[in-house]
Structure 1
Amino acid sequence: MTTTAGRRAMTTATVADTVRATTMIALPTILCGAVKRRHWVMRIAQRYQWDRRSITAMRQLAERYGPSPVRLRIPGRTVALVLNADDVQRLLVESPEPFTPASREKRAALSTFQPHGVLISHGEERRRRRQFTESVLDTGMPVHRLAAPIVVRAKEEYASLAVDVARGAVLDWPTFERAWWRLVRRIVLGDSAREDETLITLLESLRRSGNWAYLGRRRTLTRQRFAERLRSHLERAEPDSLAELIASTTTPTRTCPSHQVPHWLFAFDAAAMAAFRALGLLATHPDRFQVARARLDREGLGTNEHPYLAASVLESLRLWPTTPMILRDTTASTLWGGVSVPSGASFVVFTPYFHRDERSLPHADGFEPEAWLTAEADEPGVVPFSAGPAACPGRELVLFVASAVLAELLRRNDYRLDSDGPLRPGALIPATLDPFTMRFALASDG
């Protein structure tokens, strides 16, 4: 809806509150790495619980300016901070028009490794790329058509890790991550890509450049090397891989299939953090661990998704969103509750605040996977995979893979979180949790 003259202007925060929002909410996310997490910064963020401070700052701003979005005093830009869960839903449901996910910051960041990716596309090109992505990823289907080979591969990659832990080894992030990427490469590109660690190393280099958005160095040679390596895997179209499905999927002009795959790999990186944190939640909540184990015993070794483990991953994503900031830019002048919003305005959603809102979530700082099984977690501001037409198309596949991995680990062992981090049995669940310093050992009663 186009604005007309005489409409009232958006409420604007004071300079002091703008500085507070910038330094307490936006800056920590930027420092931690929006595209590729910086491990050393995450350690600092966990030590000082940056997200708790950010949530407190958001709550204060909401009490002062809410419920409508508040404009921050950013020179030369219209930037509005969303303060109400219903407004979160409006932004997501009305994407990609008039609220596009292809914000200027996102385009600058993601173009380093996927310049023609669906997330930063517009119009007909976006529609075609989204349709292609949903077709390959089986968006909306409870079980992906590659479910059976995924389960077999998860067993092959993680069974030995579980055995090693039973023999006294420690399951740390590097060990978990190596097995995760072997599994992901097999799922996406085929078994021949299992050992291609260089592919992921190149992608991570490009993502680190993406952390700097406009200021990042254009790594043209690195991107060429990554694209060539990725293309060689895709051209093989190995059986039981997403590459095979890509080869058999009709792709209209300018769909650019090879430019969609990097984002799938990017998303699987976030999924690894969510799965590892979910293991930490289960290990520090023995009652939930036993429920998960009992359900596994009933479900057996089939190819179905494990609902309780998938719910545990969703709780991990609720408690520690891997996308702490959702950005939307307006593509046209718009009315927002009688307030004029110009074309090109930017809306910012700080998801940790809405995911830990005690007013709508009694278990805001607790671990309640059952809430996802009973729809109690179905709140407008709780969006672990975003929502609306631009929601993550890989939601079902990611949850399936993560739950298959957790099932393989939990089937054999009881785990103890063997680290000095803030996630402890009986303690308040921390607002910031660094997965890169977590370590697991066999529980003494396992």
Structure 2
Amino acid sequence: MVTRQGPQAIPSEQALAESAEPREPAARASVADTARVVTRVLLPTLATGVIKRRPWVLALAQKLRAGRPAVDELRRLRRRYGMRPLRLRVPGRAIDLVLSPEEVGALLAGTPWPFSADTREKAAALGHFQPHGVLISEGHAREVRRKVNEAVLEPGREVHELAGPWARVLHDQADVLLRRTLDWDSFNEHWWIAVRQIVLGGDTAEDRELTDLLAQLRLDANWAYARPKHRKTRQRFLDLVRRQVALARPGSLAAALAAQPDNGVTDPAGQLPHWLFAFDAAGMAVFRTLALLATHPDSRAEAHAEPAGLDLTQPHQLPLLRAAVLESVRLWPTTPALLRESRTATAWGPEKTTFFIYTPFFHRDPDQLPCANTFDPALWLDGRAAANPALVPFSGGPGACPGRDLVLFTASTMLANLLQHHDFRLRDTILTPGDLPLTLDNFGLRFEVTVR
């Protein structure tokens, strides 16, 4: 078992505590600057799909290098308006664009009060498939649902107590993928077989129907309140979730969830849809990490060395591979925006102000981060990431993702199985070390696989 200190997936409590409380009211953007934010940041983000990615749009965004104008625009706005939030000119709404790392830290440290994660846009989107999810809950309901999530997902524990059988599942599915070539469709098929067994405890026809329905509902969720809910589809999905959780198949997250008490507010089964949603993003991160390791020889050598000689049918910590996964999510955040809504007036502005954190800006900002466009997994091991309140692959503060350690275990274990005895060569030269693009289409990645 590897004993090296694992990577810090979220900003440290000290980094959040040192983030200044909001002191200055928000600056006010001009109409022209608001229009630039909408066209260069908001619309491209929405087009690719916030809840479920649209492959053809992501491919086009990569071709057009769509991420660069967004980051450059926010850098320009920060030079013009300073580090305080920027109030966009949106009729009838107070929407503040966050421009400094310290403000990110203050918002995350102030969750759920006075800055709630349950914003109107998030509730409209996630309500399509998880009406009782903790991210769109407040007050007592949020408190008890958060406790259930933490009890089952075990944040802060690098190797989950149920990880033993999961390691075997990941080993078996990776073994099927080790052919001459590997593309996204093949990887995604076997990733979901593993995810269904970890989360639901099986891969039956009903388990597959459940995840297929979730994919449909997430596409609708991309439209938030702009598209009516498909109530029959959602009801069939939620019925299947409760049925599969009630099976309580041994060794699964669903079984652990079924054991949790329900006081009529908790709705334990209602927490599971978000876990499946998160594992989709985790699969994207694994595939992008594989591309990074294929194009960075030094990191690739370390990645091959870490699992050498290990029995990967058993769980391991794998800190280097976990750091590589975190770095891929820094470079290409699977959650491109964090939203918070004030529940009382603050020095920044009035009650019900929505704060918009564009995570690619803070993850790829060369003004604040020397390694902005380079692959630097050590960032997550040497304390630099933990000291930066705006490096938030799993959010931060009281609202940090409770499944972060479970995701990192699953992702790193899959990578270890792929890399232990094989090399992967990226077919298309789309990643240049030291100048990595701001958009990477994971759906278009293809590898040639050889035995080492």
TM-score normalised by length of structure 1: 0.93
In structure 2, the CA distance between the partners of 1:308 and 1:300, relative to structure 1 (3 Å rule), is farther
Q: How far apart, in 2, do the equivalents of 1:298 and 1:411 lie?
A: 8
How large is the Cα RMSD of the aligned pairs?
A: 1.6
Q: How far apart, in 2, do the equivalents of 1:423 and 1:217 lie?
A: 40
Q: How far apart, in 1, do the equivalents of 2:30 and 2:143 lie?
A: 40
Match of 1:93 in 2: 109
Q: 1:400 aligns with which of 386, 409, 432?
A: 409
- Asked if 1:210 is matched to 2:221, the reply is yes
Q: 302-311 vs 127-136, which deviates more?
A: 302-311
Aligned partner letter, 1:390: G
Q: 215-224 vs 397-406, which deviates more?
A: 215-224
- Asked if 1:330 is matched to 2:342, the reply is yes
Q: How far apart, in 2, do the equivalents of 1:403 and 1:116 lie?
A: 30
**Maintained 8 Å contact 1:159/1:408:** yes
Residue 100 (structure 1) shift: 0.5
**Maintained 8 Å contact 1:132/1:251:** no
SS of 1:361 mapped into structure 2: coil
SS of 2:96 mapped into structure 1: strand
Q: How far apart, in 1, do the equivalents of 2:271 and 2:118 lie?
A: 14
SS of 2:83 mapped into structure 1: coil
Equivalent pairs, count:
428
Aligned partner letter, 2:207: D
What are the equivalent positions in structure 2 for 1:20-169 lying under 5 Å apart? 20-162=36-178, 164=179, 168=180
Q: How far apart, in 2, do the equivalents of 1:222 and 1:204 lie?
A: 11
Q: How far apart, in 2, do the equivalents of 1:412 and 1:195 lie?
A: 35
Q: How far apart, in 1, do the equivalents of 2:141 and 2:297 lie?
A: 49
Aligned partner letter, 2:369: L
Q: 2:394 aligns with which of 345, 363, 385?
A: 385
Structure 2 regions of 5+ residues with no counterpart? Answer: 1-22
**Maintained 8 Å contact 2:116/2:342:** yes
Q: How far apart, in 2, do the equivalents of 1:396 and 1:219 lie?
A: 33
Q: 7-16 vs 42-51, which deviates more?
A: 7-16
Match of 2:291 in 1: 280
Match of 1:431 in 2: 438
Aligned partner letter, 1:418: R
Aligned partner letter, 1:90: A
SS of 1:414 mapped into structure 2: strand
Match of 1:358 in 2: 366
Match of 1:311 in 2: 323
Q: What is the CA deviation profile of residues 369-399 of structure 1, one whole-angstrom value per residue up to 9, with x for unaligned ones? A: 1121111222111111000001111000000
Residue 104 (structure 1) shift: 0.5
Aligned partner letter, 1:226: F
SS of 2:307 mapped into structure 1: helix
SS of 1:334 mapped into structure 2: coil
Q: How far apart, in 2, do the equivalents of 1:191 and 1:326 lie?
A: 33
Residue 194 (structure 1) shift: 7.8
Residue 192 (structure 1) shift: 4.6
Match of 1:347 in 2: 355
Q: How far apart, in 2, do the equivalents of 1:201 and 1:111 lie?
A: 17
In structure 2, the CA distance between the partners of 1:228 and 1:365, relative to structure 1 (3 Å rule), is same
Q: How far apart, in 1, do the equivalents of 2:409 and 2:143 lie?
A: 26
TM-score normalised by length of structure 2: 0.92
- Asked if 1:227 is matched to 2:238, the reply is yes
**Maintained 8 Å contact 2:206/2:240:** no
Q: How far apart, in 1, do the equivalents of 2:246 and 2:402 lie?
A: 23
Q: How far apart, in 1, do the equivalents of 2:384 and 2:324 lie?
A: 14
In structure 2, the CA distance between the partners of 1:190 and 1:8, relative to structure 1 (3 Å rule), is closer
Q: How far apart, in 1, do the equivalents of 2:438 and 2:328 lie?
A: 11
**Maintained 8 Å contact 1:137/1:394:** yes
Q: 2:29 aligns with which of 3, 13, 17?
A: 13
Match of 2:207 in 1: 196
Q: How far apart, in 1, do the equivalents of 2:277 and 2:339 lie?
A: 18
SS of 1:46 mapped into structure 2: helix
**Maintained 8 Å contact 1:103/1:120:** yes
**Maintained 8 Å contact 2:307/2:416:** yes
Q: How far apart, in 1, do the equivalents of 2:169 and 2:205 lie?
A: 11
Residue 412 (structure 1) shift: 2.1
Q: How far apart, in 2, do the equivalents of 1:61 and 1:286 lie?
A: 37
Residue 90 (structure 1) shift: 0.4
Q: What is the CA deviation profile of residues 176-203 of structure 1, one whole-angstrom value per residue up to 9, with x for unaligned ones? A: 1111111011001102548832211110
Q: What is the CA deviation profile of residues 275-315 of structure 1, one whole-angstrom value per residue up to 9, with x for unaligned ones? A: 11001100111221111111211655341221111101000
- Asked if 1:260 is matched to 2:268, the reply is no
Residue 259 (structure 1) shift: 1.3
Match of 1:368 in 2: 376
Aligned partner letter, 2:331: L
Residue 9 (structure 1) shift: 5.2
What are the equivalent positions in structure 2 for 1:171-190 lying under 5 Å apart? 171-190=182-201
**Maintained 8 Å contact 2:67/2:438:** yes
Q: How far apart, in 2, do the equivalents of 1:214 and 1:249 lie?
A: 32
Residue 249 (structure 1) shift: 2.2
Aligned partner letter, 2:367: R
Q: How far apart, in 1, do the equivalents of 2:438 and 2:252 lie?
A: 37
Q: How far apart, in 2, do the equivalents of 1:107 and 1:286 lie?
A: 43
SS of 2:90 mapped into structure 1: coil
Q: 293-302 vs 257-266, which deviates more?
A: 293-302
SS of 2:265 mapped into structure 1: coil
Q: How far apart, in 2, do the equivalents of 1:189 and 1:218 lie?
A: 25
SS of 1:349 mapped into structure 2: strand
In structure 2, the CA distance between the partners of 1:111 and 1:389, relative to structure 1 (3 Å rule), is same
Q: 254-263 vs 243-252, which deviates more?
A: 243-252
SS of 2:214 mapped into structure 1: helix
In structure 2, the CA distance between the partners of 1:80 and 1:303, relative to structure 1 (3 Å rule), is same
**Maintained 8 Å contact 1:183/1:194:** no
